Amino acid sequence: MPKADNEKKSRHWSLVARIVVAVAAIVWAFQDTDWGELAKVFQQRHIWRYFALSLATYALAQFIIALRWWLLLRAQAIHIRVSAAVRLFFVGLFFNNLMPSSVGGDLVKAWYVTKHTERRVEGVLSVFVDRFIGLMGMLLMAVVAYFLFLRGQLVGSDGGETGGAGLALAPYRGLILGSVLGMAALLAIVLVIPAGRARLRRLARQALDRGVSLVKRVSTALVVYCSRPMTMVLALGLTLLGQSMVIAAFWLLGRHLGVQAGLKYYFAIFPVTWVIGAIPVSIAGLGVLEAGIIKLFTLLTATTDNSAKALALCQRFVWVLASLPGGAIHLLGAHLPEQFLVDGENCAN
């Protein structure tokens, strides 16, 4: 019981910490905002048509990415219908983007997919491999966009050539240095206090244990998936297709919001912010994603502060609206095994 109580407390404080980070990031990203001027950005002609297009494109892209997970399930001999995989995927999307809890959407998907098959370990592995492929796809897009288009061509907020990202980030060097020194001071205080040292030792042991377990699980998945290279290539192709569709839609929306940036900047900035937002330091990346979009577009392009903020808000609204069907599926119980028809002789309910 004491161990269970400690784990419950740990999850509670983790949630509180992520809420604090989200609030702090939002305050920082939208400080000094002239809300009247920001509202004028949304009053431009045809804005809501392109917002609707972005929403529809994002929803379609999520369906494509759900197909990627379905392929990975089949590679593990888990045969559920596409509709089942899509429903579970949108339930996970709802928990990822809208639920302020310590349980992420990936864990929700992993939990419910085990209710549809006797191959439970393989089902859980498919969720994490699916997330890994998604993150690798985003990183690949960002790296390719950087080396093909942006290397040596970074533009400062005044529209002139900066000569590199270092100059663009120069105004924030004090903040970065202060943050590093603050974290170093905090670590020093923790090391000085006996209770702090004990806590660090416990965390190190837990990290080691989980790391060993993770390596075993990943190696098991690799054995299966590496024996099916075409499945992995197709999964990566679906990742790039879905992400590219979303980025192109946001580019069209951004043009009408007054964002002064070419498509190449979107292919570099959006994947980077998505990867950063996937780090569980905030609630659904709230505040962190918006700060990343705003600062990178204003630092690297001639985009105005209000236009960048409008684009960041539109992305958040699109994510929220596209995630709502997952909540309805969960409330109606459509994610439960009894609601699904399954195919394949090896499938179990």
CA distance 141 to 155: 20
Who wins on pLDDT, 98 or 246? 246
Of 268, 255, 275, 253, residue with least CA distance to 299: 268
Q: For position 218, what pLDDT does the model report?
A: 61
The answer to whether residues 263 and 251 touch, using CB atoms and an 8 Å cutoff, is yes
Q: Report how far residue 123's alpha carbon sits from residue 231's, in angstroms, rounded to the nearest whole number.
A: 16
Q: How far is CA 308 from CA 31, 139, 164, 259, 282, in A?
A: 13, 22, 21, 6, 21
* 292 vs 198, more confident: 292
What are 230's two structure tokens?
A: 């075409």
Query: Residues 14-68: pLDDT tens digits?
Result: 677 778 888 888 888 888 888 888 888 888 878 899 999 999 999 999 999 999 9
Rounded Cα–Cα distance for residues 256 and 311 (Å): 10
Q: Is the model more confident about 166 or about 223?
A: 223
Nearest by Cα to 55 from 296, 249, 302, 344: 249
CA–CA distance, 134 with 127 (Å, rounded to integer) = 11
Q: Please tell me the predicted confidence (pLDDT) of residue 227.
A: 77
The pLDDT tens digits for 273-317 are 888 887 777 787 888 899 999 989 998 888 999 999 999 999 999
Asked if pLDDT for residue 1 goes beyond 50, the answer is no
pLDDT in tens, 83-111: 888 988 999 899 888 876 545 777 788 77
Q: Does 184 have pLDDT greater than 70?
A: no
Phi first, then psi: give them for residue 284, nearest 5 degrees.
55, 30
Calculate what percentage of the chain has a pLDDT beyond 90. Answer: 23
Q: Is the pLDDT of residue 194 over 60?
A: yes
Indicate the pLDDT class of residue 161, thresholds 50, 70 and 90: very low
List pLDDT tens digits, range 252-281: 999 999 998 889 899 989 998 888 887 777
- Which among 94, 97, 84 is positioned nearest to 123, based on CA atoms? 84
Over residues 213-222, mean pLDDT: 64
pTM for the whole structure: 0.75
pLDDT at 82 over 70: yes
- Token pair, residue 310, equals 């409008």
Structure confidence at residue 241 as a pLDDT band (50, 70, 90): very high
Most confident of the following: 23-37, 159-173, 330-344: 23-37
Q: CA 44 to CA 185: how far, in whole Å? A: 48
DSSP 300: H
Contact 242, 65 (CB under 8 A): yes
Is 292 in contact with 277 (CB distance < 8 Å)? yes
